[in-house]
Amino acid sequence: MSDFFSQWVNIYFLLAAILSLGIVYSYWLRREKLLQKHGELIRELQIKERKLNELNERHENKNLKLEASQIKLEKVNFTNNKLLSIMAHDVKGPLKFMVNLASLMKDNYDALSKEERKENLEIISTTGNKVYDLVQNMLQWTKMQSESIKMQKDPVHLKSLVQEKFELFNSGAKAKEINLINDIPDDIYIWGDINMLGLVFQNLISNSIKFTRTKGSVRIYSTYSIEEVIEIAVEDSGIGMSVLDVERLLDKNVHHTTSGTSEEPGSGLGMMVAQEMIARHDSRIFVESRIGIGSKFTFVLQLIN
């Protein structure tokens, strides 16, 4: 009897063990299926999230392109309006003046003395050079706005470059008895684009002469050099500017122009060209000015030791 009971107990424990294993296996199998399903859901969510991120990125890229196009369009419109304004006012006037003066000389050539003919030709030549400089500035500025102008840095002998630009304005300076002073040391060489820097000095010298009274001076010199940079100053003894005029002069979005001491016309474009070309040399133009005392334009260039 005890053996029979013992056998049933063993069978009971065996069945209980089998049942327990079945329950554990069933639980494990269900857990694995749930984990698998959970993993699939996570992968689906990751795929959806990646697609959503791609769509957002494409949307952002489209927005950025639209913003860039809008900025470019505004820049083109500003450039066109600026050029049209200059063409209508600062190019048309001098050209019409030269045409009228040349026509007057042609109609009255025999009645004019030799001195009068020479004087009129000098006026035409001076006016023509001013128009040429203005058109050159317009072309350079347009190229910079379209980003088509290429920069090439080379060693530049600074004193020679300044002297070359002074010689362009010798006749105009002599007419106003303005002394042009080149105080750049002879041993100064800098890295830069010689054509761009030439236009920078050309525009600054032209402005200084324009706003300097008779028997004044325009001086270019170095103020200091530290390690690999040198500061250059273009200083005149002209009529000077107020703080507001300086702000307008340096504001690229403002068309600021003033007639010179001898009523020389101006487009306000020269300073804009100079600013952008100096910016290409990783620098900027600073202005110090006092009414009745004069103005000083300074900028830093890369020095060759």
Q: What gap in Å lies between CA 268 and CA 85, rounded to an integer?
A: 11
Per the CB < 8 A criterion, the answer to whether 303 and 254 are in contact is no
**Number of domains comprising the chain:** 1
Q: What gap in Å lies between CA 231 and CA 303, rounded to an integer?
A: 9
Within a domain: 136: no
What are the pLDDT digits (tens) for 262-294?
Answer: 444 444 577 888 888 898 899 999 999 999 999
Look up the domain containing 175 and give its range: 153-305
Residues 183-200, mean pLDDT to the nearest whole number:
91
Within a domain: 170: yes
Q: How confident is the model at residue 260 (pLDDT cuts 50, 70, 90)?
A: very low
What mean pLDDT value characterizes the chain?
79
Per the CB < 8 A criterion, the answer to whether 252 and 267 are in contact is no
Question: Residue 107 has what pLDDT?
Answer: 86
Within a domain: 57: no
CB neighbours of 115 closer than 8 A, spacing ≥ 6? Answer: none
Per the CB < 8 A criterion, the answer to whether 230 and 188 are in contact is yes
Within a domain: 298: yes
CATH number, residue 172 = 3.30.565.10
Within a domain: 229: yes
Q: How confident is the model at residue 297 (pLDDT cuts 50, 70, 90)?
A: very high
Within a domain: 302: yes
Within a domain: 143: no
- In terms of DSSP bridges, do strands 189-192 and 294-303 run parallel, antiparallel, or are they unpaired? antiparallel
Question: Residue 170 has what pLDDT?
Answer: 84
Q: How confident is the model at residue 160 (pLDDT cuts 50, 70, 90)?
A: very high
Question: Residue 4 has what pLDDT?
Answer: 59
Residues 184-189, mean pLDDT to the nearest whole number:
93
Question: Residue 259 has what pLDDT?
Answer: 45
Residues 62-91, mean pLDDT to the nearest whole number:
63
Residue 273's nearest CA partner among 285, 262, 263 is 285
Within a domain: 283: yes
Q: Model pTM?
A: 0.59
Percent of the chain residues past pLDDT 70, beyond the cut: 78
Residues 199-207, mean pLDDT to the nearest whole number:
89
Regarding predicted confidence, which is higher, 109 or 186?
Answer: 186
What are the pLDDT digits (tens) for 120-139?
Answer: 888 888 777 777 777 776 77
